[in-house]
């Protein structure tokens, strides 16, 4: 196991200087303190330090995801993570982050200073500094719906290929031959997976792929006004959406256009957020078990903290059929 003496020997400085750097003593320069922190992280000192605490702790880093209220996507994920951590005696701190905060404090330094044995990261983009840092980190880390080729980093998610196929087979089974796909954010791993899954499921259902029936909606409800009229012009009778929020926007746009759901157009969401059942009509959707995602994330992180290099954990989705999907309309 790495000790303060090992860090001091690597840097060629006194053990007392390393100790002061690790503990934020005022008589150590900022440059020396950062050098000590970086070296300690590189040598794997952080995990040992975290486990020496009376109650070891991990953190959840969150950006671009709402999690404070029960109806928000991240709420149950964080709750599940907390439950699994508490069962194993770990405390959890939830830390919102921003690009500005990431520019001020390096990823490894943040975890070492906070005494965290590892982290679960939600909502970061590939452009974020902490995401870039994960390629070389030795700190156990779990990502949601994102992948970094590093033995210290794993990811948890719901099988997008199976989820999209469930939705497509449901719609095709209702007679829909022109199915549009309103995806999430461009350049994200899960959006690319779902795009490929949509093309594959289209083929499995014996349908013809049409790039004009696909678009990126950036998980924004108001994107429906831009894309729904375009899909309808291509003859779409059903629209599969990458989130329930997008689907709610699609329902509103179809109402504005004077079209009936599902009489004229069927609509399907993704996630099964609480809002899905309250839509008018209630939304057919693909359920992600977000509580189980959070629990699985801690189990994966626990494995990584114990030296077991797990790459990924994928949960199974579930088709939830409600009233927003129905037989394809007969058009002359």
Domains identified in the chain and CATH numbers: 1-37 (1.10.260.40), 160-288 (3.40.50.2300)
Distances (CA, A) of 143 to 77, 96, 301: 12, 15, 10
Q: What is the mean pLDDT of the chain?
A: 90
pLDDT value at 332 more than 70: no
Phi-psi region of 97 (alpha: psi -120 to 50; beta: other; left: phi over 0): beta
pLDDT value at 25 more than 80: no
Strand order in the sheet with 153-158: 91-96, 57-62, 116-122, 141-144, 153-158, 312-315
Instruction: List the end-to-end C-alpha distance of the chain, in Å, as a whole number.
Output: 75
What are 136-173's pLDDT values in tens digits?
Answer: 888 899 999 999 999 999 999 999 999 999 999 999 99
What are 39-53's pLDDT values in tens digits?
Answer: 777 666 765 555 555
Percent of the chain at pLDDT > 90 equals 71
What are 59-112's pLDDT values in tens digits?
Answer: 999 998 999 998 899 999 999 999 999 999 999 999 999 999 999 888 988 988
DSSP 282: P
């Amino acid at each position: 196991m790495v000790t303060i003496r090992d860090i001091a020997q690597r840097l060629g400085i006194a053990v007392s200087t390393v100790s002061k750097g690790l503990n934020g003593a005022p008589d150590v320069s900022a440059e020396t303190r950062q050098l000590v922190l970086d070296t300690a992280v590189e040598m794997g000192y952080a995990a040992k330090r975290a486990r020496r605490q009376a109650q070891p702790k991990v953190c959840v880093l969150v950006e671009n995801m709402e999690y404070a209220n029960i109806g928000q996507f991240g709420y149950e994920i964080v709750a599940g993570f907390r439950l699994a951590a508490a069962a194993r005696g770990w405390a959890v701190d939830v830390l919102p982050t921003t690009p500005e905060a990431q520019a001020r404090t390096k990823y490894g330094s943040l975890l070492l200073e906070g005494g965290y044995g590892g982290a679960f990261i939600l909502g970061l983009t590939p452009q974020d500094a902490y995401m870039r840092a994960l390629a070389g980190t030795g700190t156990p880390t779990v990502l949601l719906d994102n992948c970094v080729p590093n033995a210290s980093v794993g990811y948890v998610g719901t099988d997008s290929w199976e989820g999209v196929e469930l939705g497509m087979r449901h719609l095709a089974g209702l007679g829909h031959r022109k199915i549009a796909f309103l995806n999430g954010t461009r350049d994200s791993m899960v959006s690319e997976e779902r795009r490929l899954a949509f093309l594959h499921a289209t083929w499995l259902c014996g349908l013809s792929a049409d790039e004009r029936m696909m678009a990126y909606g950036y998980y924004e409800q108001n994107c429906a006004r831009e894309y729904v009229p375009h899909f309808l012009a291509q003859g779409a009778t059903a629209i599969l959406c990458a989130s329930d929020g997008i689907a709610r926007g699609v329902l509103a746009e179809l109402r504005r256009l004077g079209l009936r759901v599902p009489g004229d157009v069927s609509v399907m969401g993704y996630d099964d957020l609480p809002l899905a059942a309250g839509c008018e009509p209630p939304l057919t959707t693909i359920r992600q078990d977000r509580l189980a995602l959070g629990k699985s994330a801690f189990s994966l992180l626990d494995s990584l903290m114990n030296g077991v290099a797990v790459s990924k954990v994928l949960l199974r989705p579930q088709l939830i059929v409600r009233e927003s999907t129905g037989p394809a309309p007969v058009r002359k």
